[in-house]
Structure 1
Amino acid sequence: MAIVRPGSRRVLLVVDVQVAVMKDGWEAPRVIANVAQAVERARAQGVPVLWVQHESEDMRYDSPGWQWVPELVPAAGEVRLFKKYTSSFEETPLELELGRLDASHIVLAGAQSNWCIRATAYGALDRGYDLTLVADAHTTDAIERGDGSVIEARAIVDDLNIAMTYVEYPGRKARAVAVGELAFD
Structure 2
Amino acid sequence: MSIRPGSKTALVVVDVQAGVVADAWARDAVVQNIAHVLTRARASRVPVIWVQHGDDELPPGSPGWQWVAELQPDPQELRIDKRHNSSFEDTPLLAELDRLGVNHVVLAGAATNWCIRATAYGALERGFDLTLVADGHTTADLDLGAGRRIPAESIVEDLNAAMQWLSYPGRRNAVVAAADLRFTAP
Give the TM-score of the pair, scaled to structure 2.
0.97
Deviation at 1:146?
2.1
Deviation at 1:147?
2.6
Alpha-carbon distance in structure 2 between the residues aligned to 1:184 and 1:7: 16
Moved over 4 A (4+): none
Q: What amino acid sits opposite 1:16 in the alignment?
A: D
Partner of 2:7: 8
Partner of 2:88: 89
Query: Does the 8 Å contact 1:4/1:127 carry over to 2?
Result: no
Alpha-carbon distance in structure 1 between the residues aligned to 2:118 and 2:3: 19
Alpha-carbon distance in structure 2 between the residues aligned to 1:151 and 1:118: 16
Alpha-carbon distance in structure 2 between the residues aligned to 1:123 and 1:178: 21
Partner of 2:17: 18
Partner of 1:133: 132
Q: What amino acid sits opposite 2:105 in the alignment?
A: I
Partner of 1:48: 47
Alpha-carbon distance in structure 2 between the residues aligned to 1:144 and 1:92: 29
Structure 1 residues 30-69: aligned runs within 5 Å: 30-69=29-68
Which stretch has the larger CA shift, 115-124 or 53-62? 53-62
Query: Does the 8 Å contact 1:51/1:74 carry over to 2?
Result: yes
Q: What amino acid sits opposite 1:111 in the alignment?
A: A
Deviation at 1:145?
1.1
Q: What amino acid sits opposite 1:180 in the alignment?
A: A
CA RMSD of aligned residues (A): 0.9
Quick one: percent identity of the two aligned structures? 55
Partner of 2:120: 121
Alpha-carbon distance in structure 1 between the residues aligned to 2:139 and 2:117: 11
CA deviation vs aligned residue, 1:119-153 (integer Å, no higher than 9, x gap): 00000000000000000000000011123111000
Partner of 1:153: 152
Q: What amino acid sits opposite 2:133 in the alignment?
A: V
Deviation at 1:182?
0.3
Give the TM-score of the pair, scaled to structure 1.
0.97
Deviation at 1:116?
0.1
Q: List runs of 5+ in structure 1 lacking aligned partners.
A: none
Partner of 1:170: 169
Partner of 1:144: 143
Q: What amino acid sits opposite 1:56 in the alignment?
A: D
Alpha-carbon distance in structure 1 between the residues aligned to 2:38 and 2:147: 38
SS of aligned partner of 1:145: strand
Partner of 2:26: 27
Partner of 1:101: 100
